[in-house]
Structure 1
Amino acid sequence: MEFGAGLFCLQSTAMAPRHPTLPYRELMTDARLLEELGYRSMWLSEHHFFYDGYCPALLPVASAALSVTNRLRVGTGMMLLPLQDAERVAGTAADIASRSGGRLDVGVGLGYRDVEFDGKGVPPAQRVARHSAGVAALQRIAVPAGAAIWAGSATPKGVARAGARGHGVLLSGANPVSLVRELASAHRQGWEDAGRPGGVRPKVAALRNVWLTDDPTERAAALDWQRASYVLYAGLGWSVAQQGSTQAMDFRVDADAAVAQAVATTIVGPPGAVIEGLQEVAEAGVDDVVFRVIIEGAPSAAIRRVLTRLADEVIPALDTVVAA
């Protein structure tokens, strides 16, 4: 099992206002720190037309982070491909992948916010076709240059498509372990049913809400930060349909219930509790974990302290864990 950190969204929110250049400067510091601590990857996130400056252009940011590191992989989680020009994205990704020694992970998603499609002048009805064209362009241009393609989906059908294409999948941190297990299985089945393209099973990575602390007061604060970070999703209008025994999570219809469900996924406590929680995630079929610790209200110093402790006290205990 390998580990990363995210999601770096480069926001300046009402709860934690700051000059809009500061998160971009801090990203360089964080990229260097993650590499020094031995993390495999850092992941960025994209949205458009949101009040807090949520990062709208991931490839230039990924390029900057790659330029100050030598081993760290940088991923887009997720680039909203239907809103982009497919050939331009593929060409830029290929150039960045080539210059970085193949350290670019291009995570792509369909997008779901009407305001983003309206603002970009893209009819939502075209999103699937535009996404497919974008993936084809990335396969043709960026993959030969060393970029890896990842998909973002919250449905068995969507992750099965990614598996059938030989692409990895990055699952949401808000997904309970029951849904993670179902999605990981569907991804693997999609790959097998398609004849195992590429010969090596593509990875299932999962964002997980994690906070390592021995202090009950900090534990409560961390859950508050997680709660605040998911309140933002009410503004973004995110939702996940019911899957099997996992209930729907709709921030548009019942924000309080959705926030509570998302916060309940948090693995929080001392090293032993965190290790146990992550072992459960691995047993659900996850190959790589991305620690979702860049959360609303959490001070940068606290985030870096947790990342350091996770690297020193948790990751070594999980180095030999391999998803079933």
Structure 2
Amino acid sequence: MRRSVFWLLDQYTDNQEDTASIYSVALKHAQLADQLGYSSLWLAEHHFHKLGTAPNPAVLLSAIAQTTKNIRLGPGVCLLPLRDPILTAEDYALVDILSDGRLNMGVGTGSQLVEFEALGRDFDNRREAFDKNLKELRTNWATASSPEQSNGPLNIAPIQHPAPPIFVATLSEDGAHKAGIAGHSILTMVSPLAEDLSTTDLILKAHSKGLLDGGHPHDSAEAIVVVFAFVAPSSDIAQAVSVPAMTKFSQAVAGITPDDPLGMYVQMTNSGTGLFGTKEFVEGKIDQYREIGVQHIAFVSRFGGLDAGLAEQSLRALASTH
């Protein structure tokens, strides 16, 4: 099982943690994740709300690239319908160069209406815009050194040839199948509200079928499953820390407090849709992911205002799970 980390960089006013502090912790934890052997690191892109504080992950990823050596780096994900495809190609080519070819290009349609309205983009047609901009992004990279490009060649190109790997964010079987047909890898998140891992299982199967239908080798792309995780010395500590953190996060996403925060936590813990508990308990739940064919898991290791020191301890423990 390969292990990665996925960070939203969500911010909460009652934590008295400013944005600079969030970035500082991210840089520190990125170095640690690299030293611990994590495979990749992903930063979410968000605008106009505190669900995420990295409006352009390329900037922070470029900084992280300077203090890490092996861990692959990617936006989780770049919201293509909101971005100019030429500027996107330039920004992330720079990340690939500064990281010496470690970019994983995570892309997605976006799901937050406020972001589209504030930027004057069409929310209802975001999937069409995504397809168009992804095609243009790949063309921009492929022709970066070509004088025949109509708008003139980009003045920088990614190190990875022919291009950095594409990871498409999806929460549906259809999206996973489509990504597979195109030969792309996928990022999919286990919903905190899911009853079990059955939806994730179906998404993985759809992606595998898409690769087959598209004529791609089954090992030419991968599926990374993102899940909330916190490991503690005891189950009581895990619960005491995770319940308020998940409650805050749920409030940030949905704008409402869960009716039964403890019940939600118990459901996530028992079903494996959240990896909370002692190291030994979490290892048992990771086995459930193996059973449905998961080969790569990305831990949301800091969320809901989780204390940075506790998140660091958990990050260390998660790295050594079998």
- What is the CA-CA distance between 1:156 and the residue it aligns to? 0.4
- What is the CA-CA distance between 1:257 and the residue it aligns to? 7.9
Check conservation: 1:206, 1:286, Cα contact below 8 A: yes
Provide closer, same or farther for how the CA distance between residues 113 and 311 of structure 1 changes in structure 2, counting only shifts above 3 A: closer
Q: Which residue of 2 aligns with 1:67?
A: 66
- What is the CA-CA distance between 1:145 and the residue it aligns to? 5.9
1:218 to 229, 234, 237: 237
Amino acid of the residue matched to residue 168 of structure 2?
Answer: A
Amino acid of the residue matched to residue 279 of structure 2?
Answer: P
The whole-number CA distance in structure 2 between the counterparts of 1:267 and 1:52 is: 21
Does 1:276 find its partner at 2:284?
yes
Check conservation: 2:105, 2:167, Cα contact below 8 A: yes
- What is the CA-CA distance between 1:171 and the residue it aligns to? 1.0
Q: Which moved more, 1:83-92 or 1:16-25?
A: 16-25
Q: Which residue of 1 aligns with 2:202?
A: 182
The alignment partner of 1:144 has SS state of: coil
Q: Which residue of 1 aligns with 2:182?
A: 165
Q: Which residue of 2 aligns with 1:202?
A: 221
Unaligned runs of 5+ in 2: 142-157
Unaligned runs of 5+ in 1: 236-250, 318-324
Check conservation: 1:16, 1:296, Cα contact below 8 A: no
The whole-number CA distance in structure 1 between the counterparts of 2:161 and 2:120 is: 31
Which structure 2 residues correspond to residues 175-324 of structure 1 after superposition, within 5 A? 175=194, 176-196=196-216, 200-224=219-243, 225-235=245-255, 256=259, 260=264, 263-264=268-269, 265-312=273-320, 314=321, 317=322
Amino acid of the residue matched to residue 272 of structure 1?
Answer: E
The whole-number CA distance in structure 2 between the counterparts of 1:200 and 1:139 is: 21
The whole-number CA distance in structure 1 between the counterparts of 2:304 and 2:132 is: 35
Question: What do the CA deviations read for 1:233-277 (whole angstroms, capped 9, x no partner)?
Answer: 103xxxxxxxxxxxxxxx8xx964899388452222222221111
What is the alpha-carbon root mean square deviation over aligned residues? 2.4
The whole-number CA distance in structure 1 between the counterparts of 2:118 and 2:3 is: 35
Check conservation: 1:94, 1:146, Cα contact below 8 A: no
Amino acid of the residue matched to residue 287 of structure 2?
Answer: Q
Provide closer, same or farther for how the CA distance between residues 270 and 147 of structure 1 changes in structure 2, counting only shifts above 3 A: same
Check conservation: 1:11, 1:55, Cα contact below 8 A: no
Check conservation: 2:4, 2:41, Cα contact below 8 A: yes
Q: Which residue of 1 aligns with 2:3?
A: 3
Amino acid of the residue matched to residue 113 of structure 2?
Answer: D
Q: Which residue of 2 aligns with 1:19?
A: 18
Provide closer, same or farther for how the CA distance between residues 54 and 257 of structure 1 changes in structure 2, counting only shifts above 3 A: farther
Which structure 2 residues correspond to residues 42-53 of structure 1 after superposition, within 5 A? 42-51=41-50
Check conservation: 2:81, 2:130, Cα contact below 8 A: yes
The whole-number CA distance in structure 2 between the counterparts of 1:164 and 1:190 is: 4
TM-score normalised by L of structure 1: 0.83
Amino acid of the residue matched to residue 200 of structure 2?
Answer: V
Provide closer, same or farther for how the CA distance between residues 180 and 217 of structure 1 changes in structure 2, counting only shifts above 3 A: same
TM-score normalised by L of structure 2: 0.84
Provide closer, same or farther for how the CA distance between residues 24 and 145 of structure 1 changes in structure 2, counting only shifts above 3 A: farther
The whole-number CA distance in structure 1 between the counterparts of 2:167 and 2:259 is: 31
Q: Which residue of 1 aligns with 2:146?
A: none
Q: Percent identity?
A: 24
The alignment partner of 1:131 has SS state of: helix
Q: Which residue of 1 aligns with 2:151?
A: none
Amino acid of the residue matched to residue 180 of structure 1?
Answer: T
- What is the CA-CA distance between 1:295 and the residue it aligns to? 1.2
Amino acid of the residue matched to residue 283 of structure 1?
Answer: E
Check conservation: 1:173, 1:206, Cα contact below 8 A: yes
Check conservation: 1:108, 1:152, Cα contact below 8 A: yes
